[in-house]
A and B are shown apart, each in its own frame.
Chain A
């Protein structure tokens, strides 16, 4: 059975590899490297962008780390089944999902926090032919969009969040995960905590009683379900799929070049899941500090959802690696040495890259306890790590979270009710929406794109609403209306032409052979 399972897994692993566009090439291995053995893991696609970057980085040390981003549920199950050396998941074992208890694995394990990040809402919507990149949404509006209450983009509730935007009369198409996913679990936990009645009534409507936190999004008509973070973000990123919105880690929006919605926090500001906003948000997280607990280091996010800081992103969370603490099934000390070296790398140096990738680095306390956990892996060598040399952007001498402390306050235009910021978000940071040019919120530190696509507006004041700029002259003008071709219903002349063309085509093919056969028969009989 394990062989069959591994076979299907390997197919899916190939898929994941292709999707993320990462094919780790064999190649330069450092000569001085310790003898590392290949290790493999599976799980969360939420954190896959970070893990993939890290495993490419450690290739230079001669480490061959494989990872299949097949979803958190699959990662937990594969770790439980012993088919992988490590799993990655946003949610711990022991939760009851849709009436099924996810039992703890028999092999001893610990959780290691790997990275923080924000579950963002990536969308694809245009107005007057120009992409909208500065959408803002409050929590209940997001919940209503994903539970079929709000079905049109021009809904007054969305308009109330976006005084500066004129949204089209298009259907809202929520794109959800079809596989068992940690992103879904994080999103549904937030909905079930903050907007319980909305979420419960939706669950009842689709025939699942009180879903609460679930890894399997219950779908209904009008929704699109796709496997993997790559699948949902890839679907939204298809130009033609206008009106779609999905929940996915911020890095996927950066990677695909699409904007994310700024979400209203409890301080009344709409914020983007940038590294610093996530770091501030997670100051409210409660980490399980009971070392004897099976849930040691797992997160409790109620304080993040209700964080009163103006800079806090409410859907921030940590992701975890599940690592074994004993030699078991195929897990040997040699593998443990590789796994712990890899974990030491990403807990220390790897965190520097979190921000660029669209995640947020771990604070020092979690790095410390994370390293302690890693030391429990058989074959681990903790002596190599000097935590002072990690250059983690959150570290400081005083122990304060530097990244959170220095996080910029949100722009006044991000305050609820105020005039809306026009600067783009996420992967579309360089594309502003509306008339104002060159405004920077200072929140985008990702460096995903340069400046300049918006520049070059010459004089004149623009009103609100969509504008169109000539690429050559840089002259912009307001668009009052966009002409669209409507198609008539019913049987018009074109329909008859099409039908007759088809009939003629069929006749051309069928008639000659029939005639010939008939003629031949006549000749023969006469």
Chain B
């Protein structure tokens, strides 16, 4: 498979997942700001922006509207759902000849609704649920129509890395929210795992239980460990391992982080959740870099700087 195509597949997986997760986070946070007026708007919005990696100067007034622009509607803000969906469509366009028609169309239609302003016009609540629906449609179309070749492995690898990254950010929002409201409940809701959590833990809602579920559960598809496991599988499928050790850097990184999470005592991990989550995000970033070096090298295009020296 061409490196360039592989790269596109990887990033389609990441962008679609990122759009979905951002919408999930925003949905729950806006609902929370609305329902529970004890949440100070500015701090909550600022924290969320910081966790999503958006830098905001101190003298800017941050309110819900500003946050929604940055994370949902403004297509020039790199973290917004609109920009991410545009990027997903852009990646899909570059791999269009390899994508199934169903998948291309579902991505393209989604992007069209953003461009024509339908996404914004729907308003937050139904807009975010629309993004979730579209992501499910795109993933479903991929699942139903793609052959399980290398391209598929890259798509899933991208999705899983992104999911681990996003779940870690979600856990960080809950850790920062402190004792106000029910941050873990809303975090679980954002993952769509609230009911699954309640069933697993027999209705006993504890912060510890929620952190354990989101980080370590081996059966919940949005938990960090589940996502990292899947990512490892994908890498393993891409490059069959030898008899000893692992040759692939990304695999080493992911495996080490996963093992670190799984084999340490939970109380140890929970002690500094934001710090741990930052480490996790660093792992996904490094893994992405090494996947890029190993598989996509050269597809970046060489930059010629004629006459500039």
Judge: A and B partners, yes or no.
no
Task: Name B residues whose Cβ lies closer than 8 Å to a Cβ of A.
Answer: none
Task: Name A residues whose Cβ lies closer than 8 Å to a Cβ of B.
Answer: none
